[in-house]
Amino acid sequence: MHVEDLRWFVVLAEAERLTDAAAALGTSQPNLSRSLRRVEDAFGVRLFEREHRGLVLNPSGRIVLEAARAGVAAVDAAQQRIDALADPESGTVRLAFMHSVGTGVVPDLLTAFRREAPSLRFALREEPSHEIVRDLESGEAELGITGPRPSTELFGWHLLERQRLCLYVPPDHRLAGLKRVSLAEAADEQFIALRPDFGFRRVTDELCHAAGFTPQVAFETTDLGIMDRLVGAGLGVAVLPGGAVRGSESGATPVPLAGVRARRDIGLTWRLHRELSPAAERFRAFVRAW
């Protein structure tokens, strides 16, 4: 039994006459009869009773009709979604991105792209960098915006921006106003940080260790905006990319960190040797030319 058999069964159940249903389907009565037998064989019961006015569904047939309508509708909806994926003008781009670029790079990029392709849709996933890599490997996402570049050779990469890292301090802090600061100057400070499973938290820990200390973490969160506000309230300091939190009036003051390692590369990445959907390919081409 195929989906087309269920589709023909629905037409026959509604027409109640073999001749009318065959004419509506553009097929012969013997073909339609064979299709009906496949459906009845699949369920192991008769589905129609013959009466003088034609074919009438029996109780089993009414159950199958309800399921057949739902099944055909689901298959048709799936086909529509697949067709949309294959259409670079109206498909869906499955994009994963890090939390720390959700207020900067991502909205800027999507705003610019939608001016060129307003009919394309996005299925967005905001998650830590290691989960982005996992989703690219599984196919849950086709493209990712992350940093740094995935270490494996299985991924392509296009640099989007190089971010200067800053030490965010309260407005009246002793380091506020400096043009540049060594992270070692904050060794005795309380830190506001992302949770350990976030990629940028590892960046912070590595910078602190390179500066000769282990940060004293007073509070962990998943939100850069919360980090910014807590620093502004005087509850600690934080390492963040410059401009990571837009439109903030918290008072937190960014001081650029000294050293060549005090930066982060953000880029678009994708799984090599795996064909992208037309919509995702169009977005990748746009990003590479942006």
- Give the pLDDT band of residue 246 (cuts 50, 70, 90): low
- Give the pLDDT band of residue 200 (cuts 50, 70, 90): confident
Give the helix ranges, DSSP H, for the chain.
Answer: 3-15, 18-25, 29-43, 59-85, 105-116, 129-138, 199-210, 224-232, 278-289
Could you tell me which of 102, 134, 99, 97 has the C-alpha nearest to residue 221? 99
Domain 3-85 class, CATH top level: mainly alpha
CATH number, domain 162-264: 3.40.190.10
Q: State what percent of residues in the chain have pLDDT above 70.
A: 96
Q: What homologous superfamily does CATH list for 92-160+266-289?
A: Periplasmic binding protein-like II (3.40.190.10)
Q: Where are the domains of the chain?
A: 3-85, 92-160+266-289, 162-264
Q: Which two tokens stand for residue 108?
A: 């800027």
CA distance 186 to 281: 44
3-class SS of residue 185: helix
Q: With 70 as the cut, is the pLDDT of residue 85 above it?
A: no
- Lowest-confidence segment of 15-24, 51-60, 100-109 by average pLDDT: 100-109
| CB distance 191 to 238 below 8 Å | yes
- Give the pLDDT band of residue 256 (cuts 50, 70, 90): very high
Same topology, domains 3-85 and 162-264? Answer is no
Give the helix ranges, DSSP H, for 167-252.
Answer: 199-210, 224-232
pLDDT at 152: 77
Q: Residues 43, 44, 45, 50: is their CA dihedral positive or negative?
A: positive
